[in-house]
């Protein structure tokens, strides 16, 4: 199974893997991030980092540690941008070179099931849910999970540029199901992104998962 190859520019390296087996070895700086983690969390972290290093290797980049920063996001080499996701039984990483015109990447993977009802109103508006449910021919609960996944990918993409941890209400999502694309529009201004700036992403639903990806190029970065 591969979820992101069709969603991203071919110049972006992708590695994916099931969350099974023994955790791959971590480099010293990485291991410090999960010294107190439960076994499942350590497995997710280790396989996510292993995917990231495989993607880096595909770009011809030396093997280096990807420690967790104070904001709990991966610390990438200065010449690379990337994103890691893991959920349920799967992990993936996407990495690109800055000198090829990429400014930021965000990917997210979620189970293609209904989001917990108590989270619906915090993740999206009733109008967003109803519109997406019709466009994508899914239940309102799955529509809410779709929106969650799309906004998570957008959050992860914009954060290295804006330095802002967004709330779900800070982005409004619109979808073109036929094209497999979505927009995430800022509902307030943040550093480097004006109000109503629209991030563009791609998504897919298959094999029991929702995959979303957002990329900002150097030309489109404000």
Question: What is the predicted pLDDT for the residue at 222?
Answer: 47
Judge whether 215 lies within some domain: no
Do 124 and 173 touch, CB atoms closer than 8 A? yes
Question: What is the predicted pLDDT for the residue at 221?
Answer: 52
Question: What is the predicted pLDDT for the residue at 213?
Answer: 99
CATH number at residue 89: 3.90.470
Do 77 and 115 touch, CB atoms closer than 8 A? no
Question: What is the predicted pLDDT for the residue at 118?
Answer: 96
pLDDT tens string, the chain, 222 residues long: the values are 789 999 999 999 999 999 999 889 888 888 888 888 898 999 999 999 999 999 999 999 999 999 999 999 999 999 999 999 999 899 999 999 999 999 999 999 999 999 999 999 999 999 999 999 999 999 999 999 999 999 999 999 999 999 999 999 999 999 999 999 999 999 999 999 999 999 999 999 999 999 999 999 986 654
Question: What is the predicted pLDDT for the residue at 30?
Answer: 87
Judge whether 83 lies within some domain: yes
Question: What is the predicted pLDDT for the residue at 220?
Answer: 60
Q: Which of 89, 105, 111 is nearest to 210 (CA)?
A: 111
Judge whether 63 lies within some domain: yes
Judge whether 222 lies within some domain: no
In the chain, alpha helices (H)? 28-31, 39-58, 120-123, 126-136, 140-162
Q: Which of 106, 135, 159 is the last residue of a domain?
A: 106
Structural domain span for residue 127: 110-207
Q: Which of 191, 194, 212 is nearest to 203 (CA)?
A: 212
Judge whether 168 lies within some domain: yes
Q: Which of 222, 220, 209, 213 is nearest to 90 (CA)?
A: 209
Q: How many domains does the chain have?
A: 2
Q: Which tokens go with 176? A: 């073109």
Q: Which of 58, 85, 106 is the last residue of a domain?
A: 106
């Amino acid at each position: 199974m591969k979820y992101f190859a069709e969603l991203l520019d071919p110049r972006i390296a992708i590695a994916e893997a099931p969350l099974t087996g023994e955790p791959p070895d971590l480099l010293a700086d990485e291991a410090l991030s999960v010294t107190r983690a439960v076994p499942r969390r350590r497995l997710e972290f280790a396989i996510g980092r292993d995917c990231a290093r495989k993607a880096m290797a595909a770009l011809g980049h030396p093997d280096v540690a990807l420690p967790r920063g104070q904001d709990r996001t991966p610390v990438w080499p200065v010449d690379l941008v990337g994103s890691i996701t893991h959920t349920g039984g799967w992990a993936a990483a996407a990495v690109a070179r800055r000198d090829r015109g990429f400014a930021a990447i965000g990917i997210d993977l979620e189970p293609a099931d209904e989001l917990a009802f108590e989270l619906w109103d915090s993740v999206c508006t009733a109008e967003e849910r109803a519109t997406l449910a019709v466009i994508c021919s899914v239940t309102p609960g799955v529509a809410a999970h779709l929106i969650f996944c799309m906004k998570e990918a957008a959050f992860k993409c914009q954060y290295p540029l804006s330095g802002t941890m967004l709330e779900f209400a800070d982005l409004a999502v619109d979808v073109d199901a036929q094209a497999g694309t979505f927009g995430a529009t800022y509902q307030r201004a943040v550093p480097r992104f004006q109000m109503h700036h629209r991030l563009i992403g791609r998504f897919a639903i298959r094999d029991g998962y929702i995959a979303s990806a957002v990329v900002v190029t150097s030309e489109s970065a404000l």
